A and B are shown apart, each in its own frame.
Chain A
Amino acid sequence: MLEIKDLHVSVDGKEILKGLNLSVDAGQVHAIMGPNGAGKSTLSYVLSGREGYHVTDGSVTYKGRDLLAMETDERACEGIFLAFQYPVEIPGVNSSYFLKAAVNARRRYRGEPEMNAMEFMKLTKEKMQVVEMKQELLARSVNEGFSGGEKKRNEIFQMAVLEPELTILDETDSGLDIDALRIVAGGVNALRNEQRSMIVVTHYQRLLDYIRPDHVHVLADGIIVKSGDEKLALELEEKGYSWLEKSA
Chain B
Amino acid sequence: MNNIIEHYRGEHAATKDRLPGAGLDWLDTSRDAALTIFGEKGFPARGMEDWKYTNVRPIEKRPFRLARETASDAAIDTRLCGDMACHRIVFVDGRYSRHLSEPGNPSAPITVKDLHTALLEDADTLEAHLGKIADVSRNGFSALNMALMNDGACISIADNAVPERPIHLMFLSSGKEEITSQTRILVMAGAGSQATIIESYHSATGNVYFNNITTEIRVAADASVEHYKLQHESNKAFHIATLHVEQARDSTFTSFSVSMGAQLARNDINIWMNDEGANCDLYGLYMADGRQHTDFHTRIDHASPHCNSREIYKGILDGHARAVFNGQVHIHPDAQKSAAEQTNNNLLLSRNAEVDTKPQLEIHADDVTASHGATIGQLDDNMIFYLRSRGLDYHTAHALLVYGFAHDIVEKMTIEPLRHHLQATLAGRIPGLDRPHELASGG
Contact = CB atoms under 8 A, between A and B. Distances in A.
Interface stretch (B257-265, B287-295, B388-396): B388-396
Chain A contact residues: helix, strand, loop or mixed: helix
Given A51-B381, A101-B396, A141-B404, A94 B390 contact: no
A178 B408 CA distance: 36
Interface in B391-431: 391-394, 396-397, 400-401, 403-408
Contact of A73 (B383, B394, B401): B394
B103 to A, nearest CB: 37
B26 interface: no
Contacts of A141: 404, 407, 441
B381 A158 contact: no
Nearest to B410: A92
A51 B439 contact: no
B443 A106 contact: no
Interface residues of A, number: 37
B382 interface: yes
B389 A48 contact: yes
Contacts, number: 103
Contacts of B387: 90, 93, 98
A16 interface: no
Contacts of A82: 389
Interface in A67-120: 71-73, 75-77, 81-82, 84, 87-88, 90-94, 96-102, 105-106, 109, 117
Given A51-B381, A90-B387, A105 B404 contact: no
A140 interface: yes
B433 to A, nearest CB: 10
A94 B388 contact: no
A201 interface: no
A141 B442 CA distance: 9
Interface centre among B381, B383, B387, B439 (most CB of A within 10 A): B387
Given A91-B404, A92-B405, A92-B408, A102 B391 contact: yes
A73 B381 contact: no
Contacts of B85: none
A72 B382 contact: no
Contacts of B396: 101, 105
A158 B390 contact: yes
B381 A92 contact: no
Q: Specify which of B393, B407, B438, B439 lies most central, judged by the most chain A CB atoms within 10 Å of its CB.
A: B393
Of the candidates A72, A96, A140, A158, the one having the most CB atoms from chain B within 10 angstroms of its own CB is A72
A162 to B, nearest CB: 7
A77 B438 CA distance: 23
A50 interface: yes
B383 A88 contact: yes
Which of A82, A91, A140 gathers the greatest number of chain B CB atoms within 10 Å? A91
B388 A71 contact: yes
A169 to B, nearest CB: 13
B142 to A, nearest CB: 37
Contacts of A139: 441-443
Contacts of B442: 139
B148 to A, nearest CB: 42
Contacts of B388: 49, 71-73, 76
A141 B59 CA distance: 43
Nearest to A101: B392
A93 B390 contact: no
Interface in B29-54: none
Contact of B383 (A71, A90, A158): A90
A92 B404 contact: yes
From A49, A98, A99, A100, residue with most partner B Cβ within 10 Å: A98
Interface in A208-235: none
A92 B391 contact: no
A50 B383 CA distance: 11
Interface of B: 380-383, 385-394, 396-397, 400-401, 403-408, 434-435, 438-443
Given A90-B404, A102-B392, 6 more contacts: A76-B390, A76-B391, A90-B383, A100-B438, A101-B400, A105-B390
28 contacts: A71-B394, A72-B388, A72-B389, A73-B397, A76-B390, A87-B386, A88-B380, A90-B401, A92-B405, A93-B404, A93-B407, A93-B439, A94-B438, A94-B441, A94-B443, A97-B400, A98-B400, A101-B434, A102-B390, A102-B391, A102-B392, A105-B396, A106-B391, A109-B391, A117-B438, A139-B442, A140-B441, A141-B404
List of 5 A-B pairs having minimum Cβ-Cβ separation, nearest first: A92-B407, A92-B404, A76-B391, A105-B391, A102-B390
Interface of A: 48-51, 71-73, 75-77, 81-82, 84, 87-88, 90-94, 96-102, 105-106, 109, 117, 139-142, 158, 162
